[in-house]
Homo-oligomer: A and B are copies of this chain.
């Protein structure tokens, strides 16, 4: 592993600005020195991507599938070296590294399967009707084509599955778009290793140089330049609302605006009905203590907001959830900056009027380990204070005690857009859930029934996205086969002679 950029197939380190990643568990910097990309290197990466595009988009689906599968193989071939760097850069355990690697490789193979036939292009054929009155109907054949070079910003919390060769990259390459990754500075080494696997796979399978580049940067300027570059045609981002919105704004202000799919903040409201509380409050508290602290609370679907009806059962549940959550051992966060933000955001929220800290983890907490926190407040307080809606990234959750169903619906209606909502209810209540489900549906991308929101299945029917600020465009999902549609557009051939049409439009 070197700290150089990948500009096309070449390693490159022309700049003077360098940085290192940090091991939050050991609380020290890691050894490798990374070289921030210069303007010349950025320009070269974009030029190579632009040149690669017409070649890459015309490579058959079967050959592009081979490329994706070879990336998966090359990632697996990195073996323990990748796992070691991953753990050293994130403080996450080996099991998580391997699980996430499995998901990453699985996604690449899923998209490979998808593009082996051209069905993903949604070919739609309208045959001509030459004798139609008053005008003949022309022959029209529509299908999806790729947008052009895509810039992908890696996510801090998914160094593999949502970074260098993660879902955005895999879906964009599958669509036929060259990808330039702006490597996440917190796990630049993991990114560099994965980048080496992608480049190796591209060379092995005869892909054009420029189909992939990996750009190092510890600041925000490099990413801004990439998003503003006229030859870049779309952007994928996973991260904070502030970061995603800044890129969305830049992209919208370009002479030629381009789509930015940013998956950003979510507090993932969970609604517990009175019936569920009566029948299984303790079981729910146990599973939610686990969900809130899973991965140190660093999942985008972490349950940050729990809604229930004021009652002795809810009070008891709040206490129980607090005890069970703080009984779980403290775990390391991804980076000191993330830990600091967790502490200060948690303090800001829990110091708002009308809130009460129910429980806080008081066990052993080495540097960068998170002290989980459960807070509660009333429906009225939540309704009048938007600060209580903000995401506290980490093992934090707030229980809002609503005085009646009307207030509950008002709270849901007043929420910002969310990735998920969860509903815990009993069979005897099914007849009266319509209003809650309907109201919740308008604010989220997915509703989970009697479960926890953490855990995002990679499959066809997954929606990982939602109204703003969960994502910048609720009309797309970031996970699953349908996520390829973010990087493609419909195009029609009219009255084309068959010999000039691609095979899959010959019907």
Q: Is A461 a contact partner of B495 (Cβ separation < 8 A)? A: no
A79 within 8 A of B: no
Q: Which partner residue on chain B sits nearest A445 by CB separation?
A: B491
Q: Is B462 a contact partner of A489 (Cβ separation < 8 A)? A: no
| Listed residue (A258, A474, A488) with the most chain B CB atoms within 10 angstroms of its CB | A474
| Listed residue (A135, A142, A494) with the most chain B CB atoms within 10 angstroms of its CB | A494
Q: Which partner residue on chain B sits nearest A142 by CB separation?
A: B461
Known A-B contacts A460-B126, A490-B477, A500-B437; A449 and B495 likewise in contact (beta carbons under 8 Å): yes
Contact of A490 among B145, B457, B463 (CB under 8 A): B463
A140 within 8 A of B: yes
Contact of A447 among B124, B256, B486, B493 (CB under 8 A): B493
A497 within 8 A of B: yes
> Once bound together, how far apart are the Cα atoms of A450 and B500, in whole Å?
13
Chain B nearest CB from A456 CB (Å) reads 10
Q: Is B490 a contact partner of A142 (Cβ separation < 8 A)? A: no
A214 within 8 A of B: no
A137 within 8 A of B: yes
A449: chain B residues at CB < 8 Å are 493-497, 500
Per-residue 0/1 for A375-404: is the Cβ within 8 Å of any B Cβ (1 yes, 0 no)?
A: 000000000000000000000000000000
Known A-B contacts A126-B457, A475-B259; A441 and B142 likewise in contact (beta carbons under 8 Å): no
Chain B nearest CB from A148 CB (Å) reads 7
Per-residue 0/1 for A490-507: is the Cβ within 8 Å of any B Cβ (1 yes, 0 no)?
A: 111111110110000000
Per-residue 0/1 for A93-112: is the Cβ within 8 Å of any B Cβ (1 yes, 0 no)?
A: 00000010000000000000
- Considering only CB atoms and an 8 Å cut-off, how many residues of chain A contact the other chain? 74
Q: Is A499 a contact partner of B430 (Cβ separation < 8 A)? A: yes
| Listed residue (A138, A477, A485) with the most chain B CB atoms within 10 angstroms of its CB | A138
| Listed residue (A145, A147, A473, A489) with the most chain B CB atoms within 10 angstroms of its CB | A489
A137: chain B residues at CB < 8 Å are 457, 459
A366 within 8 A of B: no
Q: Is A441 a contact partner of B491 (Cβ separation < 8 A)? A: yes
A455 within 8 A of B: yes
Q: Is B58 a contact partner of A140 (Cβ separation < 8 A)? A: no
Q: Is B446 a contact partner of A495 (Cβ separation < 8 A)? A: no
Chain B nearest CB from A199 CB (Å) reads 25
Q: Is B461 a contact partner of A427 (Cβ separation < 8 A)? A: no
Taking beta carbons and an 8 Å cutoff, which residues of A are in contact with B?
Answer: 54, 58, 99, 124-126, 134-135, 137-138, 140-142, 145, 147-148, 248-249, 252-253, 256-259, 416-417, 427, 430, 433, 437-439, 441-442, 444-451, 455, 457, 459-463, 465, 467-469, 472-477, 482, 485-486, 488-497, 499-500
Q: Give the 8 A-B residue pairs with the shortest CB-CB distance, closest first.
A: A140-B461, A252-B252, A142-B461, A463-B492, A126-B461, A446-B492, A474-B489, A448-B494
